Structure formats: C-alpha cells, structure tokens
Amino acid sequence: MKKKRFFYVCALFLLMMGVAACSKDSDEFTFQDYNLENIEALVEKGQIPTQFVSINEFPNWLQDIIETQPDFNPLWVFQFTWKGSTHYLLYNAMMNGPYQGFYTQDGQNLDGYKLWNDIKANSSGWTLVYETRPLDE
C-alpha cells in the first residue's frame, strides 16, 4: 500500500513540475542545467552524483535529524557549496519542493523561498551524501 501511495504522489509531482532531461559535459552539478524542483528524477537518472558518507561524519544537528527520521518517510541529504560554504538540502517525498530543507553547515535553517533564485544561480558541487533508505522502496 505504501508503494502504491508513494507512486501516486510521485506521478502527481512529476505531472505538476515536469522533468528536465539535459545532458552535461561536466560532472559537477549546478542548477543552471537542471530542474531541481524534481530532485527525485535527477537522482534516479544519475544526474546528481552520489557519494555516501557515514552518519558520524555529519555535524551533530544533522545526525539528530537523520536518527529521528520516521521509517515511513525516507530522507535524502544533499551537500553543496554556496557562497563559499558547505550547505545541505534535506529532502523527503512529502515536501512540496526542495525550498523547505536548506541548512547551513552549523544547522541554521534557510528560507529557501527567498533564496531560491540565488541558490539556483550560484551553487555548485551538488552530491547526494546520505539516504535513510531509497525512496523507491
């Protein structure tokens, strides 16, 4: 039942947001070439690199979030560089888009709605670094 409900949510999300199918010569992910509003499709197509790290390598605030994440709602953690610093995007399938889960390295939650255009234009080095479990399970 969970798989079926998740499939319908994803299908609706895909219909609403669309999928950008671009190719890129560089292996560094930036927003300029992709539609991050459908981040699940980008990961599934291999357009965002994956380099998993141990939970112990994350800051304490991020470890706490990961450890308290409910089983029914898988979490993806993305790491990227913006304004010369490491930032994180915490994403799950229940979000209305990636806007809600932006954090600084010290755990400050950023207003993704206000910063969206700047992050899209000026971030780089996007990598999926952790998942509580694959979203397609």
The model's pLDDT over 119-130, given as tens digits with 9 standing for 90+, comes to: 888 999 999 999
Q: Give the pLDDT band of residue 52 (cuts 50, 70, 90).
A: very high
> Residue by residue, what is the 3-state secondary structure of 109-136?
ECCHHHHHHHHHHHEEEEEEEEECCCCC
Asked if residue 29 lies in contact with residue 125, where contact means CB atoms within 8 angstroms, the answer is yes
Residue 25 is predicted with a pLDDT of 42
The structure tokens listed for 98 are 């990636």
| Any domain includes 136 | no
Name the residue range of residue 65's domain: 2-131
| Any domain includes 137 | no
Q: Using only C-alpha atoms, what is the Rg of the chain?
A: 14
CA distance 18 to 85: 30
The model's pLDDT over 87-103, given as tens digits with 9 standing for 90+, comes to: 999 988 777 666 678 99
Residues in the chain: 137
The average pLDDT across 109-117 equals: 88
The reply to whether the predicted model has a pTM over 0.75 is no
Task: With a cut of 50, say whether residue 11 has pLDDT above it.
Answer: no
| Any domain includes 8 | yes
Torsion of CA 44, 49, 55, 56, to 10 degrees: 170
